[in-house]
Structure 1
Amino acid sequence: MKLQQLRPLLLAALAATALGSALAVHAGEAEIRKNLGRIPQFAKIDEVTKAPLPGLYEVRVNGFDIFYTDEQGNYLLQGSLFDLKERRNLTEERVAKLSEVAFDKLPTKDAIKMVRGNGKRRLAVFADPNCGYCKQFERDLMKIDNVTIQLFLYPVLGPDSVTKSRNIWCAKDKAKVWDDWMQRGVMPANAECDTAALTRNREFGQKYNITGTPTLIFADGTRTPGAIPAAQVEKQLSAVN
């Protein structure tokens, strides 16, 4: 048989193999979901996909929590999967990828915009006015120039955080009142206005699993939690802007 005659048969065989593989994955996912459902306290499963290790499946719940199971869902593992040859934490990389937030999708209308220098570089910060680490970070952030900062008030530390965030958001000069409080301890004056933006910030943070403050989001969507030093902020800004 000539090559031209074999080609359609080969393509059909490849298509059948791909379809069979897809059906097997789907069947495996259904069985995994069914069997893991035997655990009453297990969260609703967001996604089941093949893990990098053959025979292992990744089970994602609560948006960013990763578990591993076999292809029947009879065993469940919690922890990090490492590629020892490449010296990579595959679970950590996966969570980092899932945690990315497209910078251009950030609801900047609900943020306080602060421009320093030429403002060409971009950084978003979720912060609580009563967060000690946020105050430390704000002092370090003053060393960074040529950046536009989108500050999202994220009051998650109690009722007083909500009150202070309201007073800052409703101030005539939001950025100045924020800086005065965070860096100099000048209490924000009482102010009233529409604070729906603060509610939307909390909803956004819950959706994207922002669980601590400060949380930084860089222009490439990468997220960094915690009060990192100015040198690290500078390095990440330079890498992505």
Structure 2
Amino acid sequence: MKKRLLILGLALAVMGTVSADVDNKISTALEKKLATLIPGQTPSSIKTSAIDGLYEIAYGAQIFYISEDGKYLLQGDMIDLESRKSLTQEAAKSGRSEIMKSVKDSDTIVYSPKGKTKHTITVFTDIDCPYCRKMHEEMKGYNDAGIAVRYMLYPRAGLNSPAYKKIVSVWCAKDPAAAMDDAKLKGKIDSKTCENPVQRHMEIGEEIGVTGTPAIVLEDGSLIPGYRPAKDMARMLNNKVKVSSK
């Protein structure tokens, strides 16, 4: 658990601890207890949970529960049996959204619509992933539907692998978006090196639950694994807007 939390340093640096609806004395005591368990990391939020005496602790998209006396720490899904929804996953979604907001467009490769942007999705992608290539072939369809696509770089084979070197070469090109087109659609890659955000992208992906590519993160923090056709994605996003506006 400590190893996974340590990679969050940069993302959590932009977040202070939010102690919503929690008595200040309890919040302070729990923070001190957590500091002994996870040195060097501050929770992004401490909130009351649906169960009396149990508090929800968020480290970005990682959710835990701790007893008021600080003796018991729990990890797992809390399910509301009436709504059949996971309260834990809803909290994780919120944390995931905050982490994504901390990633600047300038640290991603962005494909924007020519007209108005209706939605923005962030996609963890790999050069060698067949379904990443299939998704990239539909980029015009995404953009025509008003969907901006932000690519974060996630070579599944790991750091210093051939896939890593390919994706670094794309990032270091004079025009990364054009280089990504060439790499995914033509298999053409000019080898280059430079300072790059690939390792940080991989760390963020691990933290928010990415286990493969492509992995799509919506603006509300929802994580959608795998490829989605442009028409299906547009329909899903438009339906989400309709539901949230009711």
Q: TM class by shorter-chain length?
A: 0.5 to 0.7
Distance 2:214 2:176 in 1: 18
The corresponding residue for 1:91 is 88
Alignment check: 8 A CA contact 1:101 1:217 kept: no
Gaps of 5+ in 2: 1-19
Tell which deviates more after alignment, 126-135 or 206-215: 206-215
C-alpha RMSD of the superposition: 3.7
Distance 2:131 2:168 in 1: 20
* Residue 49 (1) aligns with residue 24 (2): no
Alignment check: 8 A CA contact 1:137 1:227 kept: no
Alignment equivalent of 1:111, drawn from 84, 92, 108: 108
**Bigger radius of gyration:** 1
Distance 2:233 2:163 in 1: 25
Alignment check: 8 A CA contact 2:159 2:199 kept: no
Shift of 1:135: 2.9
Distance 1:173 1:90 in 2: 42
Between the aligned residues of both structures, percent identity stands at 24
TM normalised by structure 2 equals 0.66
Write the letter of the residue equivalent to 1:79. G
Matches within 5 A, 1:1-241: 25-33=23-31, 44=41, 46=43, 47-61=45-59, 63-101=60-98, 106-116=103-113, 118=115, 120-121=117-118, 122-139=120-137, 141=139, 143-144=141-142, 145-146=144-145, 147-155=147-155, 157-159=158-160, 160-184=162-186, 186-191=187-192, 195-196=194-195, 198-199=196-197, 202-203=199-200, 206=203, 209-212=207-210, 213-218=213-218, 220-230=219-229, 231-238=231-238, 239-240=240-241
The corresponding residue for 2:15 is none
Distance 1:150 1:69 in 2: 36
TM normalised by structure 1 equals 0.67
Distance 1:75 1:114, change over 3 A: closer
Shift of 1:96: 0.5
Distance 1:207 1:176, change over 3 A: closer
Distance 1:23 1:112 in 2: 39
Distance 1:233 1:171, change over 3 A: same
Distance 1:133 1:224 in 2: 17
Q: Figure out how many residues of one structure are paired with residues of the other and give that number.
A: 212
Gaps of 5+ in 1: 1-21
